[in-house]
Structure 1
Amino acid sequence: MFGQQEDQILVEASPLPIQEIPEDRALTETKLPATVTPDLKIPKAEIRTSLKALTTEGAFATVFYSIIGGALLSNFLLDLGASTVEIGLLASIPQLTNLLQPLGAFLGDRIKSRHWYSFLIFGSSRLPWLLIVPGIWLVSTSRIQPRQLVLLTLAIICLSNFMEALGRASFLSWMAVLVPERLRGRYFGLRNSVVTLTNLIGVPLLGLTVSKWPGGSLQGFGAVLVLGVVFATLSLVFQFWITDVNPQLVHAADSDTDHSSPWRKIFSFLKDGNFLRFLFYSALWSFAVNISAPFFNLYLLGDLNLDVSVVTLYNSLGAGANLLMLMFWGKLADRIGNRPLMISVGILVALTPLLWLEAGTAPIFLWAWFPLLHILGGATWAAIDLCSGNLMMGVTPLRNQSIYFAIAAAVPGITGAMGIAAGGYVATVTDFGGLPTAFALSAVLRLLALLPLVFVHERRSVRVRQLMKVLIPTLKRQAGAIQAGRTSLKPLPLIESEKEGSPASSSAQS
């Protein structure tokens, strides 16, 4: 079914009211600098096969990542007696290891195969998780203390994220070459929908397995962890069906190959004003979000003492809302741009933490309020996650793109870790009010973080005030179409795009 949907995305693209482009050209051409060798053009058939494999790879990998991140791992560490600071460290480690992404981008551009580099990096990052399984057995037989297993888990998290940080920018650059620019919103909407559907089905089952495992939740986590590593290995197998890309062909311009030093390439982003504005937004947004984001599950599991199966059920409701909205946001982003969506939906995301200030264990909260909060979060974050990645691809030049991607991850990684530390400090100081104060502070800072995004320029992006004039009527028409049984997204009224003469990013010049 998903393969047919991908074919429809590639062959039967819906009308694009802002700027028409021949469909075959959109599918078969990758916009490269004029000095780059034309050998990189990928045939349409290979693009289709690659996108199908990329979607399947994401579905298998998400089972693994849902186990080693989120409520399941937090519950595992809490069962071992981990403190609030250690739970915060669990979330900050991936942020800090993003500092290594520029190094990974530099190494990835030195090799001749995106595929084999990703295979080596991600294979090395996933297998060490199997060490936790004998650790659980040693704790169960009282041969080691639970505290030692907590330290082992944190060490594995450090090693795993260290390795993955070396491969993320290269993998993202690989996808940026394979996915046609004009179809990114729809394709990544579909891929994220498959990933979200996997989470929607898998996470509650995994949480129930851990909760009801005959030997206890620790052994249950060990069992699902083994299953997750198996799925992670299968995801690497599907990468063999993804067309390989030689990054050196992308950067094969004489000026870069023969004269530019590696350090000049790494710091070339400092001359790109539009990218710097996007980077400033990303840094502030990451700080504001991470003040509260890592602590929502902790609040449910620790402060309210809810069962892990209930928390994973809430997360699945959010995943379901995410799934239902992804394709809508993806098609809308292709028509009106990513930036206006990020601003308008970002306001809702910013205000969401305030809704957690009124919470408790009464039935109205357990069966109505918390499910609604997760549904709202899933629907709105679907737009933010999808559009953030697409906007980052849009504001970066193709040449040295992996370096730009790495910087765009490293800087928010630093500020995100700072946000986690600040949120953890506020949460542990009772004079500040604990976690509710962290939630309120996060909401205020999220609103402020949206201001730099207003000054980021995106090709084919409409102005926010123009968007709001047509978005609400369009949503009403779409809701009526869904009620009438018509699920296709109708084109938005023609909106004048930002003029060509406006300040553009270096990606437009490429």
Structure 2
Amino acid sequence: MFPTSQLTEADREAGLKWYVRNGMFFKIMETLSIGVFLTAYALSLGASNLVIGVLAAIPSLTQLAQLPAVYLVERIASRRLVAVSLTLASRLLLLGAAAAALLQPGPAALLLLVVAFAIRYIFGAIAGCAWNSWVRDFLPPERRGVFSAQRLTWMTIMAAMAALAGGVFVDNWSALTGLPQIYAYSALLVIATFSGVLETIAMAQIPEPTPLPLEQGPEQKTGLFSPLKEKNFRRLVTFLFSWNFASNLAAPFFAVQMLRQLGLDLTTVMMLTALSQGANALVTGTFGSLADRYSNKRVLQFAAPLFIACIFAWTFTSLPERHYFTMPLLVGIHILTGIATAGVTLASGNMANALSPTNGATRHLALCAAFTAIAAGTAPIIGGLYADVLANYQFSLTVNWSAPDGETIIPAFDVTRWDFYFLAATLIGLWSLTRLDQIEEPSQGGRVRMRKELMMGVWRGVQTASSIAGLKAVSDLPIALITERLSRQKKPRAGKDKTEPPEA
């Protein structure tokens, strides 16, 4: 459990395999325990919009625990010991959330659910502080983008499979067992706990290099917030704050919109989720290679506007009710959101690492996590507070067509309830893009060239997935995409520093 002063190439290669497996088990656990399943579970327990917002905010707000955790991680001999022990404890707390189904739906059950998730994510945040610094030192600097993409690709595949299986499991639970559906969500949390334990076992197999000693210069003596004195780092923090506020103002209510407003069943919702994850998997490897070849900023300048456009498109899914084009629109939104999320997730996390110093990166990464947490945590709470109020307001635009035989009124644009959040998130997201442009990061090549390569990578992935003969190639997707890109990749630029996004 203690750092290795001499990390051999064989140790690193073996650790990289466990690094990917760790991500796979982590994603299964997260898919079954949060997102659509958690929202549906909470609604079954009688949750209000405010409680939905609080549950969505917990994973983000608890990341503030990383700030005091910095001092613990910088002074303890083994980051792996901290990460593994607290990760295991946080995963076992999911059993407490599962026990809420045994209580009568109402305040007591919801309190148990919220408290269990809050403590689980506090432990996870402290573990994540140690994990981020540990993995940053473990991954080879010149291949961080590629290995992060490989891990994210497999995580996405596992998420898609878990989402589909979980949706079918819940919808068929009552028919198979004769028990209320609420127990199906509880069973999913038990399965998620088991996957979390396997994730912890995989984490423990990854070797930890001996961290570099901190330089006790003026910046270190000024305390935890000293990185904010760096102009470029402040620009990064401003972008991350505004971007995460925008995305989390809308994202927690996507599932509510589909389940309540549009009346979709859980299996359909999870099929759409799996479709999004599939699109994500097709392009993650390509984005990782492009981030290494060009820059994280270039990837974000493509993916972030696409994500914002998808948020805006949600306002057209109901006019104000479900309509003929709702399902085709949802399919398109989920495919494009999957592509955009792949780029944003990979590049935003890697950029934080790229702009952090080699020694003392823990403080920079913790500050990024803290500001991200404040934005991502307050946004859904604000959304939950005002959801019921905004339900009484509506803004509509219609197209009138008058003819001798009568008049036709066509609804063109309708904003009500959660649509107001989608619209607000779009505007804030557009402002965050102006902050992104101000960040300085070395890059090679222009946006047009990078977009052409991205389109080529996506098209090759689609061709592979669309033929029966290519099904085996789909199973080899992460390696195939990465190998193809590496064969054309130039020698990596010196000094580039990337890793995967933090996780709790």
Count the aligned residue pairs: 449
Shift of 1:207: 1.8
Contact preservation (8 Å) 2:307, 2:337: yes
1:205-241 alpha-carbon deviations (Å, 9 max, x no partner): 1121122112122111122211111111111111232
Q: Does 1:445 align with 2:418?
A: no
Alignment equivalent of 1:467, drawn from 447, 463, 469: 447
The residue that corresponds to 1:264 in the other structure is 222
Shift of 1:421: 3.2
Task: Specify whether residues 364 and 46 from structure 1 end up closer, same or farther in structure 2 by C-alpha distance, changes over 3 A only.
Answer: farther
Amino acid at match of 1:339: K
Amino acid at match of 2:17: K
Shift of 1:476: 5.7
Shift of 1:197: 0.6
Alignment equivalent of 2:297, drawn from 333, 339, 343: 339
Rounded Cα–Cα distance in structure 1 between residues aligned with 2:486 and 2:148 = 19
Rounded Cα–Cα distance in structure 2 between residues aligned with 1:45 and 1:438 = 50
Contact preservation (8 Å) 1:60, 1:231: yes
The residue that corresponds to 2:384 in the other structure is 424
Residue 250 of structure 1: SS of its match in structure 2?
coil
Q: Does 1:353 align with 2:311?
A: yes
Residue 458 of structure 1: SS of its match in structure 2?
coil
The residue that corresponds to 1:220 in the other structure is 184
The residue that corresponds to 1:232 in the other structure is 196
Shift of 1:82: 0.5
Rounded Cα–Cα distance in structure 2 between residues aligned with 1:493 and 1:326 = 16
The structure whose residues are more often strand, as a share, is 2
Shift of 1:478: 4.8
Contact preservation (8 Å) 1:121, 1:163: yes
Residue 393 of structure 2: SS of its match in structure 1?
helix
The residue that corresponds to 2:398 in the other structure is none
Rounded Cα–Cα distance in structure 2 between residues aligned with 1:131 and 1:479 = 42
5 Å-filtered alignment, 1:22-33, equals none
The residue that corresponds to 2:417 in the other structure is 434
Rounded Cα–Cα distance in structure 2 between residues aligned with 1:134 and 1:293 = 27
Shift of 1:491: 7.6
Shift of 1:494: 8.6
Q: Does 1:98 align with 2:77?
A: no
Contact preservation (8 Å) 2:4, 2:209: no
Q: Does 1:323 align with 2:281?
A: yes
Q: Percent identity?
A: 25
5 Å-filtered alignment, 1:65-464, equals 65-139=30-104, 145-213=105-173, 214=177, 215-246=179-210, 249-251=211-213, 253=215, 255=216, 264-360=222-318, 364-365=324-325, 367-428=327-388, 429=390, 430-431=392-393, 433-459=416-442, 461-462=443-444
**Which segment is superposed worse, 385-394 or 408-417?**
408-417
1:377-397 alpha-carbon deviations (Å, 9 max, x no partner): 011110000011111110001
Rounded Cα–Cα distance in structure 1 between residues aligned with 2:460 and 2:25 = 34
Task: Specify whether residues 437 and 228 from structure 1 end up closer, same or farther in structure 2 by C-alpha distance, changes over 3 A only.
Answer: same
RMSD: 2.9
Unaligned runs of 5+ in 2: 395-415, 465-469, 471-479, 498-504
Residue 306 of structure 1: SS of its match in structure 2?
coil
Rounded Cα–Cα distance in structure 2 between residues aligned with 1:237 and 1:293 = 31
What is the TM-score of this pair, normalised by structure 2?
Answer: 0.82
Rounded Cα–Cα distance in structure 2 between residues aligned with 1:352 and 1:399 = 38
Unaligned runs of 5+ in 1: 1-37, 140-144, 506-510
Q: Does 1:58 align with 2:58?
A: no
Task: Specify whether residues 222 and 424 from structure 1 end up closer, same or farther in structure 2 by C-alpha distance, changes over 3 A only.
Answer: closer
The residue that corresponds to 2:406 in the other structure is none
Task: Specify whether residues 471 and 167 from structure 1 end up closer, same or farther in structure 2 by C-alpha distance, changes over 3 A only.
Answer: same
Amino acid at match of 2:261: D
